[in-house]
Amino acid sequence: MGMSQGNATPAAGEKQKPAQSAGRQPASVRVVLFALMIAMLLAMLDNMIVGTAMPTIVGELGGLEHLSWVVTAYTLATAASTPIWGKLGDMYGRKGVFLTSIVLFLIGSVLSGMAQDMGQLIGFRAVQGLGAGGLMVGVMAIIGDLIPPRERGKYQGMMAGVMAVAMIGGPLVGGTITDHLGWRWSFYINLPLGAIALVMITTVLHLPKKRSQTRIDYVGAALLTIGITALVLITTWGGTEYDWLSGQIIGLGITGVIALAAFVLVERKVAEPVLPLHIFRNGNFSLITVIGFLVGFVMFGSMTFLPLFQQTVQGASATNSGLLLLPMLLAMMAVSLFAGRFTTSTGKYKIFVVVGGGLITAGLALLSLMDTDTTRFTSGAYMAVLGAGMGFLMQTTMLIAQNSVEMKDMGVGSSSATLFRTIGGSFGVAIFGAIFTHQVQTTMAERVGKAGEKLTGGGAQMDPKRLNELPPMIKDAYDHAVATGTHHVFLWGAVVSIIGFAAAWFVKEVPLRGGPASRPEGENAPQEQAPVEVAAV
């Protein structure tokens, strides 16, 4: 039996309720959300698994200088494709577009597992990233269509559960796979989960098909991609591959500025812009995109370089380094659950943005204090502070973003918020990677001279097993180099996160749609959408 969200609802007061109030049973909503959470798990689990296995991957394929690009290629492709996926979903229907993104992600996973060198791995990770862009924005947009912001906290436990499984189980699974099966299975493990997601989405979720005669803004998408790519290359190559004042870096800077300026001009004139500029006229939306950018910046950076510190300096195996992240991940899950329930019952959310921004800054500052003598208990306590900050912000930022746009802009609003978080991750890994690599190379050169330069110019030193084979003096020098690199990474992260903390104070607590204090234009928004059918349970 199918259940529909009708368009004929007589009273405004009735429109403020979530989708199930229009005739859908809560169990039907849950089964749809369960299918969507599996798809979200597909993308999130991959990041966590690969992040934990990264030292071994880079150690086998070689090249410390390529460490950031394995993640940056993925996140950059995700960022570039996210607006297009969102617009395609709005124009042609979300289900077919969503399923296509899952298939593309799985193709990229298979190819990444078959990679024979770093160049191939980076390229295939980009294919994965293209699919991941559609996964994340598809899940968020569909949830935004189904459940008003005020009621979403009831289901935030499912989202927090997915994060817990991905962020706690991901490092553990990634470490176990790396230690016992080999890093290639870190990619192949996506296949069975992807098959389940495909079957669930195909059979459970029935969205209306759409046909649009409007052309996609390919020019705008191309300009945005060029601009983002140029900026990321500057942050990746500046001071490492090329001097900051070199022709290559200056040329990339000029290219990025011109591309982004042209992008703004194009978006102001086209009928269906890939990134409508009018949504940024809303103060809350603009502020929350800045904060979301910083959340991505911090999350991707910390999840990339914390395992490196734990495996190199603290001597943890790939499996144990995943377990050592538990304090951060459990704190994130617990805080996210609390914030969701509190928001649903009270409609209040600004306090979480402010407190989350403050905790992230404090957590990064504490992590910057780590050195070769830092115990696992101490680093775990620092990570718990950071995790609590991210827990307050992860779901709250998306909730505010979706509540700040009209329902007709739900797709582009979700994709824009996702885009800026993804760009933040790309910038975070690129900038942190450049800082880390520079500090490691500098410290090694200072401590062991030419031997240090030769060691950090390869990549074998990133393999924890081969690290133990180094002479004690060289290994001690490298431990200090990694500790120095992570110190600078988190110190600069703390400095940047102060911007997000300051921005949080300016967020206005606008009533959430679906609650008793909702504004009329927000209350009836969900009912303006085309009927959405959900397979009965």
Mean pLDDT in residue range 453-460 = 51
- The structure's pTM equals 0.74
Mean pLDDT in residue range 378-394 = 88
Q: Dump pLDDT digits (tens) for 286-332.
A: 888 888 888 888 777 777 788 778 777 777 665 566 677 788 878 88
* 484 pLDDT more than 80: yes
Half-sphere exposure of 112 (CA within 13 A, CB side): 30
Give me the percent of the chain exceeding a pLDDT of 90: 8
pLDDT the model gives residue 60: 73
Q: Confidence band (pLDDT; 50, 70, 90) for 431?
A: confident
- More confident: 452 or 405: 405
* 38 pLDDT more than 90: no
Mean pLDDT in residue range 487-502 = 89
- More confident: 38 or 355: 355
Of 3.30.2350.10, 3.40.630.30, 1.20.1250.20, 1.50.10.10, which CATH number belongs to 27-207?
Answer: 1.20.1250.20
- Give the DSSP H or E segment for 3: strand 2-3
- More confident: 110 or 530: 110
133-147, 265-279, 460-474, 510-524: lowest mean pLDDT where?
Answer: 510-524
Q: How far is CA 245 from the centre of its chain?
A: 31
Residue with tokens 């802009």: 409
| Contacts of 30 by beta carbon, 8 Å cutoff, 6+ apart | 155, 158, 537
In a 10 Å sphere around its CB, with 0-12 CB exposed, 13-18 middle and 19+ buried, how is residue 107 labelled?
Answer: middle
| Contacts of 442 by beta carbon, 8 Å cutoff, 6+ apart | none
SS3 content of the chain, % helix, strand, coil (to 5): 80, 0, 20
Q: Confidence band (pLDDT; 50, 70, 90) for 209?
A: low
In b/e form, how buried is each residue of 359-375, taking b as 16+ CB within 10 angstroms?
bbbbbbbbbbebeeebe
107-116, 176-185, 255-264, 504-513: lowest mean pLDDT where?
Answer: 176-185
Mean pLDDT in residue range 506-525 = 61
Question: Is 278-509 in the same CATH topology as 27-207?
Answer: yes
Domain boundaries, the chain: 27-207, 216-274, 278-509
CATH fold of 278-509: Growth Hormone; Chain: A; (1.20.1250)
Q: Dump pLDDT digits (tens) for 159-171.
A: 766 776 776 677 6
Mean pLDDT in residue range 23-48 = 71
User: Please, what is the average pLDDT of the chain?
Assistant: 76
pLDDT the model gives residue 236: 66
- More confident: 267 or 57: 267
Q: Confidence band (pLDDT; 50, 70, 90) for 147?
A: confident
Mean pLDDT in residue range 167-177 = 72
* 266 pLDDT more than 70: yes
pLDDT the model gives residue 255: 93
Token representation of residue 5:
């969200």
